[in-house]
Every structure is written in C-alpha cells, then in structure tokens.
C-alpha cells in the first residue's frame, strides 16, 4: 500500500540549508516551516533543475528586453 500526502503551504518566503545536517532543507512558508531531508542525489537533481529553470528565465528576460528596445527604437 502506498500512502501520500500533499501539503499546500502557500508561497515560499525563504529557505535554509542546514550546516549541521548534510541533507536538511527548510522552506519558510506563509504560516510556518516545511522541513525535508534530501539525499545527495536528490539535491544534485534539484540543483540541476533550478539551474536550468533560472537559465530559461534569464533567456526569456533578455529576449523581452531586446524586444522592448526594438519597439522603443521605432
């Protein structure tokens, strides 16, 4: 039997990665804190996914800025 639980905690306001525990991550949300323990392989995948997402967002911002500059030049 598999049991799962979904926690709707709202927006993340901040985070903390423990320097005492190698794999503890705290997400500070609107009304509290969500703590999770992440194995190293999961942390690596999270790091990679966040990097890819940030790269995509940065490219989108650059494209939007170029488009805005072009429309202002006209």
Q: List the domain boundaries for the chain.
A: 9-38, 39-74
Judge contact between 14 and 29, C-beta under 8 A. no
Has this prediction a pTM greater than 0.85? no
pLDDT band at 71 (very low <50, low <70, confident <90, very high): confident
Query: Three-state DSSP class for 9?
Result: coil
pLDDT band at 73 (very low <50, low <70, confident <90, very high): confident
- In this predicted structure, the answer to whether residue 17 has a pLDDT above a threshold of 80 is yes
Judge contact between 35 and 12, C-beta under 8 A. no
Each residue of 55-65: b (16+ CB within 10 Å) or e? eeeeeeeeeee
Tokens for 10, please give them: 């709202």
């Amino acid at each position: 039997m598999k049991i799962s639980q979904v926690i709707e905690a709202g927006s993340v306001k901040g985070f903390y990665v423990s320097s005492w525990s190698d794999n503890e991550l705290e997400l500070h949300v609107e009304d509290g804190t969500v703590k999770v323990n992440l194995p190293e392989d999961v942390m690596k995948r999270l790091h990679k996914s966040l990097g890819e997402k940030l790269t995509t967002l940065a490219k989108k911002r650059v494209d939007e800025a170029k488009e805005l500059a072009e429309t202002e030049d006209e």
